[in-house]
Chains A and B, each alone.
Chain A
């Protein structure tokens, strides 16, 4: 429940969505809403005056394969993507996030662009050098600006979006989805928890691509001729209430060696 006075807006097109965003100060885009509900309950410093529901914008909710590329609408719930299974590493990564019935709501765009530091679903997309289609309000009387960009180019600790910019979809070459991959995920105890470390490993011709979430304050990725080099490039992990830095470091080494074993 959001106890405050709230406006609910449900545009039918992307252009309408960004226009509505411009017209309402303090508005947020709503897809799955799982983070918005939690934040609204917990934090007085998370005011939401209006929610713009993007789930009925067709291009944000489509999953398609065309011209050798897989396109995933940003408002798609994680379960829909995992059950489709076109990108097995993404499927495995998604199945670690929250729990099944939460994933029936939680959107891939929300997981990637939300406030929590984990954003595990971004790892396979970063490794795949995915493209992102977004729309942003035009300045002044300019029309909204659509653009497609490399996810890696605007990812620095988190996704760097402009005010009011809405992600509509991600796309990646299907050929990448066919590369050998491995996924490992460890939590403090049980299965439904934030990760101490989530590790995505892909072997390509030149060596390995490695992405890690949970171990650092933000998702990180690197490439290397071998796995150890990639791991080293990621830098030292963090310590927090869930685990110390040294445990995370030890965990990542065992996770990586078992992932490498799987790929050998």
Chain B
């Protein structure tokens, strides 16, 4: 009874019927009758003292049940790694869009109408518009209480300044190596903050039950994280909180932290027995809820005349906005990987998370790597130009390989992906050797660019996953994990892994859709591209456990030792005489003998996984092993530029990534292609535009432009398979990585086309036109 493997095939997604028929219910599709609706008043100032807030007229509006301000919860502070944010602003607002007051009413229309009756007075304060401004002597200190905030040990704030975290890398002797390097280049590279713009705006629906338990439905990537943080913020034990994560309409890191849930819960606790719905408008989702960080950076690279990199000295300043949220760890993750996937023997890096008066930043696809990659790749482009070397050759020459060490001094083990093979694939796809720059007959210029990337999950050392496998009467298997479906397709990867391990038809395996902290096994967070790896490992253990139980039960009626049995094809049978066996449907809920006697009972497989061998970082040198598995790859683009007006488009985008083992090729391609598309938006248009007082001028989809149909390039996605020894069937994470190299590759190509180094994003036509004009004069 041999079966062909289903791994590497691309069956239709299991959620396709639900998602194409409108049947899938996201969090906001689950509003019960009797629900109260909250509407929030947002700060019109980026930095201001709050004067009087008068809610009397709002409270008198028909249907209104309550109106609240920061003063209603004078002691509550929320944070992910550091508790620095009140649920509603207290005393002062620190960003444009910060929640200031909230109205709760029987219906949303009443809440919105009443909101317009609140009178709030503000006294504007000078607003900090960049990390460098915030670090300048005499800059206003945005968090005078920084020293007293509750935080985890890995985060290193500097009280008395606007530094929310500083991570240091000191590997070798960068100063000496730079001094002795025959070629040294230096550059500054920057871009403003922006937004995730997932299509589903964030929503939380909380109910404080009359039984004293708190239930929260939330569009979250992290139901267990939210439960823990709610427990801390509200003083309720975890056992009295249930967080339910329905499938999420796009996360991209933006829903990985704790966001609307605390305010929704605080409101629900004022109205026991009635659910309270707190739903973002699109504008609030973009500006009031967190976005992605901005960056200011400076990089120096020293190399030999042959182009071997000797040292890097870098400063990465992350614009965290008003609150630290995930950005403190984003800056830390950037330190871990700061050089990009290159062998750099001497590294000196300071990566800082800096408070400003911008909307606050959280995790974003790539988690610090898109930022560090843009800085290092641009610096390598300067180096290549100085050396007169092809930028691809420079990268190939310095590509990180097994045996090399990372910036934190961890040795790259034999599981490390094959970066040179990835570079070779991109070289081929873009026909790199046919020339990097050409002027077309109509005057437009075509140019190519390449960048490399690596990323390891930036996760706690004890990051976990778990799975249970149970069965239905028909012998079909049901996998439960705490993973949240965001569109990434982890469920289908897990389903293939379970089907493969059980030797079962895919149609006979289901993965439970909602993650629910009361029912699902514990799982750290659906982030860091680690679900397939970690939950996949847990699922494999659950299958093994279930198979052992099936064999134990079946061994009695089949009258044989357990070790002679095999499970496959929906049966348990004798390995050496496959005709003798039982269908799983007669075993998985217990076996019943003809006389009615029963044995066994329902089979429940149990599987667990916890990150292996991770350690923290030395606060002075960064030394340690904080990264689990490294996914590496190369990306390249071809662009076309009209030099007359800066008109610019990406015509080809290629990514080659070493994924260990392809589990579901179509979904893997979807992740890579989607990430490249998002990266094109990131590099060419997506950024907040601030006015002189740091108000956001483009905080809506009318003005904040995302890629549309027909603007996408021709995509190439290739996979190299160097097995990850400890990954499920050799697989490693791949969800985020495709975005990381895009800004660098696009900036390189655009710079080549324009004939001037472009060191700031976004690369809008006007930006290009201006740079070309300045270069000419």
Contacts and interface: CB of A to CB of B under 8 A. Distances in A.
A189 interface: yes
Interface in A182-234: 186, 188-193
Contacts of A192: 705, 708
Contact of A189 (B108, B281, B705, B770): B705
A191 B684 contact: no
B113 A3 contact: yes
B711 A190 contact: yes
Interface stretch (A71-79, A80-88, A127-135, A247-255): A247-255
A44 interface: yes
A191 B644 contact: no
A1 B766 contact: no
B415 interface: no
Given A44-B116, A241-B689, A3 B711 contact: no
Contact of B109 (A1, A44, A247): A1
Contact of B711 (A44, A191, A254): A191
Contacts of B110: 3
B113 A189 contact: no
Interface residues of B, number: 30
Contact of A190 (B109, B112, B116, B685): B685
B708 A190 contact: yes
Given A3-B113, A250-B645, A191 B765 contact: no
Interface in A1-60: 1, 3-4, 38, 41, 44
Contact of A3 (B109, B684, B705): B109
A244 B645 contact: no
B115 to A, nearest CB: 9
B707 interface: yes
A241 B698 contact: yes
A145 interface: no
A244 B765 CA distance: 12
B201 to A, nearest CB: 14
A243 B110 CA distance: 39
B645 A251 contact: yes
B710 A189 contact: no
Contact of B766 (A3, A4, A247): A247
Nearest to A247: B766
B764 A188 contact: yes
Contact of B707 (A190, A193, A241, A251): A190
B615 interface: no
Nearest to A1: B109
Interface in B396-448: none
Contacts of A186: 645, 647, 765
Contacts of B9: none
A189 B765 contact: yes
B711 A4 contact: no
B697 A247 contact: no
A191 B712 CA distance: 12
Nearest to B697: A241
Contact of A247 (B116, B702, B769): B769
Nearest to A188: B764
A172 to B, nearest CB: 31
Contacts of B109: 1, 3-4
Contacts of B281: 41
A38 B283 CA distance: 12
Contacts of B770: 247
Contacts of B764: 188-189
Nearest to A44: B116
Contacts of B645: 186, 250-251, 254
Interface in B741-777: 762, 764-766, 769-770
Contacts of A193: 705
Contacts of B647: 186
A254 B770 CA distance: 15
B697 A188 contact: no
Interface in B608-667: 644-645, 647
Contact of A243 (B112, B691, B698, B766): B766
A48 to B, nearest CB: 13
B651 to A, nearest CB: 15
Nearest to B684: A189
A188 B109 CA distance: 35
Nearest to B770: A247
Contacts of A3: 108-110, 112-113
Contacts of B685: 188-190
Q: Max chain A CB contacts within 10 Å: which of B113, B647, B697, B708? A: B708
Interface string A162-194: 000000000000000000000000101111110
A191 B710 contact: yes
Contact of B644 (A44, A190, A254): A254
Interface string A98-117: 00000000000000000000
A186 B762 CA distance: 17
Contacts of B116: 44
A10 B697 CA distance: 37
A95 to B, nearest CB: 13
Contacts of A190: 685, 705-708, 711
A197 to B, nearest CB: 10
Nearest to A243: B766
A261 to B, nearest CB: 11
A105 to B, nearest CB: 16
A3 to B, nearest CB: 4
A101 to B, nearest CB: 12
Contacts of A250: 645, 769
Contacts of B702: 38
A40 to B, nearest CB: 10
A188 B644 CA distance: 15
A191 B764 CA distance: 13
A162 to B, nearest CB: 30
A193 to B, nearest CB: 6
Contacts of A247: 766, 769-770
A4 B706 CA distance: 32
Contacts of A44: 116
A232 to B, nearest CB: 19
Nearest to A41: B281
A193 B704 CA distance: 9
Nearest to A251: B645
Nearest to B109: A3
Interface string B277-288: 000010000000
Contacts of A241: 689, 691, 697-698, 703
A193 B700 CA distance: 12
B769 A188 contact: no
A187 to B, nearest CB: 8
A191 B762 CA distance: 17
A89 B685 CA distance: 30
B113 A4 contact: yes
A1 B765 CA distance: 36
Nearest to A189: B685
Nearest to A187: B705
Contacts of A38: 702
A4 B766 CA distance: 42
Interface string A232-245: 00000000010110
B708 A191 contact: yes
A190 B108 CA distance: 34
19 contacts: A1-B108, A3-B109, A3-B112, A3-B113, A38-B702, A188-B705, A188-B764, A188-B766, A189-B764, A190-B685, A190-B705, A190-B707, A190-B711, A191-B708, A192-B708, A193-B705, A241-B689, A247-B766, A247-B769
Interface of B: 108-110, 112-113, 116, 281, 644-645, 647, 684-685, 689, 691, 697-698, 702-703, 705-708, 710-711, 762, 764-766, 769-770
Interface of A: 1, 3-4, 38, 41, 44, 186, 188-193, 241, 243-244, 247, 250-251, 254
Given A41-B281, A189-B685, 12 more contacts: A3-B108, A188-B766, A189-B705, A190-B711, A191-B708, A191-B710, A192-B705, A193-B705, A247-B766, A247-B770, A250-B645, A250-B769
The 3 closest A-B pairs by CB, nearest first: A3-B109, A189-B685, A3-B112
